[in-house]
Chains A and B, each alone.
Chain A
Amino acid sequence: MTPFTELSALACPLPLENVDTDQLIPARFMKESRDKGYGGFLLHDMRFGADGTPTDFVLNDARAKGSEILVARRNFGAGSSREAAVYALVDYGFRCVIAPSFGDIFSSNSVNNGLLPALVSEKDCEAILDALGDRPGELRVDLNAQTITAGDRDFPFEINATWKIKLLNGWDDIDLTRARAEDIERFREHYTAAYPWVTS
C-alpha cells in the first residue's frame, strides 16, 4: 500500500449527510471483478441519470477533475460493510475523505486501502465547506501533524493512533499479524482448553 504522509490536492465538496455505502457504490456493481477498477461506479446514481447521461452533480463539474479529497457532512460511509465503497473512492482517485463522522466499518476499510478518513468537528467541517464555497478547491492534509489547511486556516483532525501508523507506513495487517504467530498459537491452546465446547 502507498504510504500516506502529506497531500496537497483538489478537494471536492459533497455537503450531504448520511452518504451511505449503497450510494457510494450501488449493489448491482459489486459482482464485477476489480480488474478494470471500481472508479466508474462511484456515486453512480448521483452522477448519472437513468439513461446514463451525466447529471449536474459536483463530481461531473470539469473543475472537479483530479480531486483527491472529498469533504462531506456527518455519517459518511454508513451502512453496509462493502469494502467496494472504498474501492470505488480509491479507484476514482480519492486519497482522503473529511467528515464529522464516519461509519465504523467504512473507516477501517478505508485505512486498509490507504484512504485517510479524517475526522473533524461539525464546526470545522462547515468552515472547510464554506472555504471551498460549493466548488472544488485546494486543501492540504498533513497526517503527521493531523491538520487540514484551507487557505490560511488550519483545522485539526482525529485519527486512531494505530491507523495513523498503518497509513504513514503503508503497512498491511496480515504481515504484522503473522509475525505474532507464536502468541496466537499459545492463546489458542489455552483458549480451547478453557472453552472446550466452542471448537468441538
Chain B
Amino acid sequence: MVVKKAPRTLFDKIWDAHEILRNESGQSLLWIDRHFVHEGSFHAFNKLNARDLKVAHPALTTGIADHYVPTRGRSIQVVTDKVRSVIEQLEHNTREHGVTLLGLDDPRQGIVHVVGPEQGLTQPGLLMVCGDSHTSTHGALGALAFGIGASEVAHVLATQTLWQTRPKRLRITVDGRLGAGVTAKDIALAWIARLGADGARGHAIEYAGEAIRALSVEARLTLCNLSIEGGGRCGMIAPDDKTLAYLKGRPDAPEGEQWEQAEHYWRTLHSDEGAVFDREVTLRAEEIAPQVTWGVSPEEALPIDGTVPDPARAASPAKARQIQDSLDYMGLRAGQKLTEVAVDSVFIGSCTNARLEDLRAAAEVLRGRHCRVPGIVSPGSTQVKQQAEAEGLDRVFIDAGLEWRESGCSMCVGMNGDQVGSGERCASTTNRNFKGRQGPGARTHLMSPAMVAAASLTGHLTDIRELTR
C-alpha cells in the first residue's frame, strides 16, 4: 500500500482505496465492495437484460425484499397483482443472475439499510451502493455508502464499478451533550433546518464531536440515514470501539485472523489531525431541542416548543409563497403552537427509526398507557421483530392500542398499500414529509420514536420532555 504523508479525511482514505482510475475530466471509476438490490431494481435488471449482459460479480450483490412487501402477515396473496409482480420480478431476476436473495420468508429479511449492518455486511472502509437514497445509513459504521439511480445500478451489476465525481467534504461537529429526550433524529432535523434540504448538496458529510461519539451505533445509523435529507452525498462516522463491538460476531463479519487484519486497517480509518474539510459546521448539543417538522420538506423543522411559521414574516415574497404552500398542504395556521396540532394516526417504522433501540424508546413511553389515535408499528427487520417480541415490546404496543406488523418499508412510502388517508395527519418516525409521501394527500410530521409515542398518547404533537417530567 502507498503511504501518503498529507493528512487525509476519513472520506478521502476510503475513496482513494477504491479509485481504479480517473478520466480526463476528473471523474473517478470506483470499485464497489457491496451492492444491494430491492424490488424497485427491476428497471435496472431490465436494462441489463435488454443488452444481454450478465452480473459481473453476483456474490457482491445481495437482494432484499422490503419496499413492496406486505406487513399484515407474509402471504404474498394479500397484496395487489401489480405489487406481487414486482416482488416476483426480484425473485426471478436474482435467481437468473445468481444473486443471493433475502426474500419474504427469509429470517434475515428486513429493510435493506437495517439488514446490512445487522448481518455484518456493512463494515468500516467499504464502498457500498444501492438504488435507494438512504444508503447513506451504512456510513454510520465508517463505510462510504450512497444511493444511486437505476442506470447506475445496471452499471454496477454489469461492471462492479461506478463513475463518480469526487464530492466536497463537510464536517458537522456536535459538541457537548444531548439533553434528556433529545436523539440522533433531532440532531439531524436541527442541522437540516439550519443548512437547508440542499445544504450539504455535493458534499460527503463526516459527523464528529463529543455528542456523536456518545451515540450508540443504532443512533448513528439514524443520523447517517438522514444525511440525504440535507442533500448530502453520504454521511459517515469514524469507526471506534463501539463500532467494532457492534460488528464482532455478526454473520457476515470477518472472523479470526481476518478480523485481526481488518481491525488493524479499520483503526486507521479516521480523519487525520490537520485534514482539511471544504466546509465545517458546528452545533452545540445542549441547544438542540426535540424537533418536529411542520411542512413538506425535512428542512421545515422546528423545536417542539415553537409555533407554526408566519408567511407574513418571511424574508422574501417567494419564501412567503413557499411557506403558505406548505401550510395549505399541511392544513396548519400561521402562529399555531406546534403542541396544539392534533394528529389522526402514528407510524413507527422505516430504515430511519425502527431498530431495537427505537422500538424500546417508543415502548418505554407507551408502557401501561393507552393511545388516543390508531397506528402501526413495523419493525425494521424480521430479526428486530423477533428480538422485540422476546423482550415483550410487541405486547406493550398492542396493549396500548397499536398494530404490530411484519417488517418492511410499509407506511414510509406506502408502496405495499400501507398508507395514510388523504388529508389525515400522521406523526411518523420516517424520513420524508414530502407531499403525498405516505399516500396521496397525506400529511406527515417527522419526529423521534419517543415523540411519536407521546403524540399517540395525547392525540397531538407533544413535547416528550413534558410528558416524562
Known interface pairs A162-B163, A177-B29; A31-B82 also in contact (CB < 8 Å): yes
Which of these, B149, B161, B228, B262, contacts A108 with CB under 8 Å?
B149
A-B Cβ contacts below 8 A, count = 183
Known interface pairs A31-B68, A78-B231; A26-B436 also in contact (CB < 8 Å): yes
* Residue tally, chain B, CB below 8 Å to A: 77
Contact A165 B25 (CB under 8 A): yes
List residues of chain B with CB within 8 A of the CB of A34.
43, 46
Nearest CB on B from A82, distance (A): 7
Q: Find the residue from B27, B59, B198, B201 having the highest chain A CB count within 10 A.
A: B198
**For the complex, what is the distance from the CA of A73 to the CA of B414, rounded to whole Å?**
27
Q: Find the residue from A26, A32, A45 having the highest chain B CB count within 10 A.
A: A26
Contact B159 A184 (CB under 8 A): yes
Contact B152 A194 (CB under 8 A): no
Nearest CB on A from B387, distance (A): 27
Contact A86 B149 (CB under 8 A): yes
Nearest CB on B from A163, distance (A): 8
The answer to whether A101 has its CB under 8 Å from any CB of chain B is yes
The answer to whether B75 has its CB under 8 Å from any CB of chain A is no
Interface string of A6-36 (1 = CB under 8 A from B): 0000000001111010110011101110100
**For the complex, what is the distance from the CA of A188 to the CA of B160, rounded to whole Å?**
10
The answer to whether B303 has its CB under 8 Å from any CB of chain A is no
**For the complex, what is the distance from the CA of A183 to the CA of B161, rounded to whole Å?**
11
Interface string of A118-135 (1 = CB under 8 A from B): 000000001000000000
Known interface pairs A74-B198, A81-B148; A50-B441 also in contact (CB < 8 Å): yes
Q: Find the residue from A27, A102, A105, A173 having the highest chain B CB count within 10 A.
A: A27
Known interface pairs A104-B202, A162-B26, A178-B158; A79-B434 also in contact (CB < 8 Å): yes
Contact B60 A173 (CB under 8 A): no
Contact B436 A22 (CB under 8 A): yes
Q: Find the residue from A16, A18, A32, A101 having the highest chain B CB count within 10 A.
A: A18
The answer to whether A72 has its CB under 8 Å from any CB of chain B is no
Interface string of B310-334 (1 = CB under 8 A from A): 0000000010011001000000000
Which of these, B27, B82, B154, B435, contacts A45 with CB under 8 Å?
B435
The answer to whether B8 has its CB under 8 Å from any CB of chain A is no
Known interface pairs A109-B151, A161-B25, A177-B163; A104-B432 also in contact (CB < 8 Å): no
**Chain B residues near A (Cβ < 8 Å):** 1, 17-18, 20-21, 23, 25-27, 29, 31, 33, 40, 43, 46, 51, 53, 59-60, 68, 82-83, 85-86, 123, 125-126, 131-133, 147-152, 154-155, 158-161, 163, 165, 167, 196-198, 201-202, 228, 231, 233, 254, 258-259, 261-262, 265, 296-297, 299, 318, 321-322, 325, 413-415, 422, 432, 434-437, 440-441
Q: A20-B434, A109-B149, A112-B149 are in contact. List 8 more A-B contacts (CB 8 A).
A: A20-B297, A27-B414, A74-B198, A75-B201, A80-B133, A101-B201, A174-B53, A178-B159
Nearest 7 CB-CB pairings of A with B: A109-B149, A112-B151, A161-B25, A197-B254, A83-B150, A83-B149, A197-B258
**Chain A residues near B (Cβ < 8 Å):** 15-18, 20, 22-23, 26-28, 30-32, 34, 45, 50, 73-75, 78-84, 86, 101-105, 108-109, 112-113, 126, 160-162, 165, 173-174, 176-178, 180, 183-184, 187-188, 191, 194-200
Query: Can you name 13 A-B pairs with beta carbons within 8 Å?
Result: A18-B299, A23-B436, A28-B414, A34-B46, A74-B198, A75-B198, A78-B231, A81-B148, A84-B150, A103-B201, A104-B202, A160-B27, A200-B258
